[in-house]
């Protein structure tokens, strides 16, 4: 019988089976964790190099800067947009040449980077991801005001731009996927805020879904699970995600009706999230037991029968001692309670 690892337990969950314990989803190795990480996300260097450098210009020319308050997450530099007229995008947005790229060497270099961090492919699932979203890219190019107006007023031009970008991204995926041999394919596009989506379900269906579908086809063709990263109140898009083969959604935040989603879809859509570290849990006086109870309540509500991965923690500066302390308590309970959850 094959050894049950973090990877096999996680992949069981993505396939809709009940795992042996509650998996903990992450983009890669987490600080101060002694057990193998469940998953690592590989972003081809040709599009992700600026992230590895801690900021700078991306392949389209957008400048990204780190923000301490978000744990050094990179955001487009405010006010430095590169496109001010949607009808002129062909003059501004130029895909880099892919001629002469050594895809095998790129994949090997990045995988070996994981191995140096202690990642073992027997224990950890490798997810291939381009860490891009068509909607997010357009907002980075133009800013939200102009970008949203463009989607409403110039949908044909927006579609043409996304089609051009998708040709570039899918060619990268086609070239590198055989060398990475991923266990999971990940799509990303933050099309929602906390209170509501930025765009309607119909606009998503018409202008964004076709290109998510073209990327998702790589996962469908390989028969590997497909996950969708989409922050905020994104539940109106679930049916469209399912139609292209998405198996799981992160970070499935509590602004969505996660209980209702669990009841409606069961293990057809794995919920990776469900924990909200705000409100009372963000209070400096929150007790250790209150943090632990919040973990237990989240699992009790969303983990029965499978279809759930833990995804979430306290956000903030990575060197903030309070964030470190609270996450230490939180993940201790995640592993303690989650490891025993299906043995009850």
Q: pLDDT by residue (tens digit) across 43-101?
A: 999 998 988 888 999 999 999 998 877 777 888 998 899 999 999 999 999 999 999 99
pLDDT at residue 2, rounded to an integer: 63
pLDDT at residue 53, rounded to an integer: 86
Domains of the chain in start order, with CATH, are: 6-343 (3.20.20.210)
The tokens of 208 are what?
A: 């964004």
Is the pLDDT score of 344 beyond 60? yes
pLDDT digits (tens, 9 = 90+) for 299-323: 999 999 999 999 988 877 777 888 8
As a whole number of angstroms, the distance between CA 224 and CA 270 comes to: 14
Spatial strand order of the sheet with 73-76 comes to 56-57, 63-67, 73-76
Helix locations, 186-287, DSSP H: 201-207, 209-222, 238-243, 258-265
pLDDT digits (tens, 9 = 90+) for 331-343: 999 999 999 999 9
pLDDT digits (tens, 9 = 90+) for 246-260: 999 999 999 999 999
The count of other CB atoms within 10 Å of the CB of residue 162 is 21
Contact 192, 231 (CB under 8 A): yes
Is the pLDDT score of 16 beyond 60? yes
Please state, in angstroms and as integers, the Cα–Cα distance from residue 33 to each residue in 296, 336, 342, following that order.
20, 13, 22
As a whole number of angstroms, the distance between CA 219 and CA 240 comes to: 16
Report pTM.
Answer: 0.95
The backbone torsions φ and ψ at residue 276, rounded to the nearest 5 degrees and listed phi first, read: -120, 105
pLDDT at residue 1, rounded to an integer: 52
The backbone torsions φ and ψ at residue 270, rounded to the nearest 5 degrees and listed phi first, read: -75, 130
The tokens of 285 are what?
A: 């006086």
Angle between helices 155-180 and 45-52 in degrees, nearest 10: 90
Q: In terms of Cα–Cα distance, which of 156, 162, 252 is closest to 213?
A: 162
As a whole number of angstroms, the distance between CA 328 and CA 323 comes to: 8
Is the pLDDT score of 218 beyond 70? yes
pLDDT digits (tens, 9 = 90+) for 175-194: 999 999 999 999 999 999 99
Q: What is the mean pLDDT of the chain?
A: 94
Confidence band of 324 (pLDDT split at 50, 70, 90) = confident
């Amino acid at each position: 019988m094959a050894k049950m690892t973090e990877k096999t337990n996680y992949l069981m969950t993505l396939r809709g089976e009940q795992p042996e314990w509650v998996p903990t989803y992450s983009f890669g190795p987490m600080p101060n964790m002694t057990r193998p990480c469940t998953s690592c996300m590989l972003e081809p260097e040709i599009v992700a190099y600026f992230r590895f450098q801690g900021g700078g210009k991306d392949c389209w020319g957008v400048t990204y800067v780190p923000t301490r308050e978000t744990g050094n997450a990179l955001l487009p530099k405010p006010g430095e947009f590169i496109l001010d007229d949607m009808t002129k995008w062909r003059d501004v947005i130029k895909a880099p040449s892919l001629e002469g790229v050594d895809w095998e060497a790129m994949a090997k270099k990045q995988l070996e980077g994981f191995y140096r961090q202690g990642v073992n492919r027997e224990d950890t699932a490798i997810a291939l991801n381009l860490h891009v979203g068509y909607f997010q890219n357009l907002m980075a190019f133009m800013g939200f005001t102009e970008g949203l107006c463009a989607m409403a007023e110039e949908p044909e031009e927006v579609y043409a731009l996304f089609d051009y970008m998708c040709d570039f991204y899918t060619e990268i995926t086609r070239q590198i996927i055989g060398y990475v041999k991923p266990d999971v394919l990940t799509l990303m596009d933050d099309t929602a805020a906390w209170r509501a989506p930025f765009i309607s379900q119909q606009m998503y269906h018409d202008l964004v879904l076709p290109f998510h579908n073209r990327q998702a086809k790589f996962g469908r063709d390989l028969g590997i699970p497909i996950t969708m990263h989409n922050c905020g109140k994104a539940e109106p898009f679930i049916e469209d995600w399912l139609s292209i083969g998405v198996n799981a959604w992160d970070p499935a935040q509590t602004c969505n009706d996660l209980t209702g989603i669990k009841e409606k879809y069961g293990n057809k859509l794995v919920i990776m999230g469900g924990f909200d570290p705000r409100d009372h849990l963000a209070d400096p006086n929150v007790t250790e037991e209150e943090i632990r109870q919040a973990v237990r309540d989240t699992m009790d509500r969303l983990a029965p029968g499978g279809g759930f991965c833990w995804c979430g923690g306290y956000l903030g500066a990575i060197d903030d001692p309070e964030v470190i302390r609270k996450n230490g308590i939180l993940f201790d309970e995640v592993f303690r309670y989650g490891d025993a959850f299906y043995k009850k």
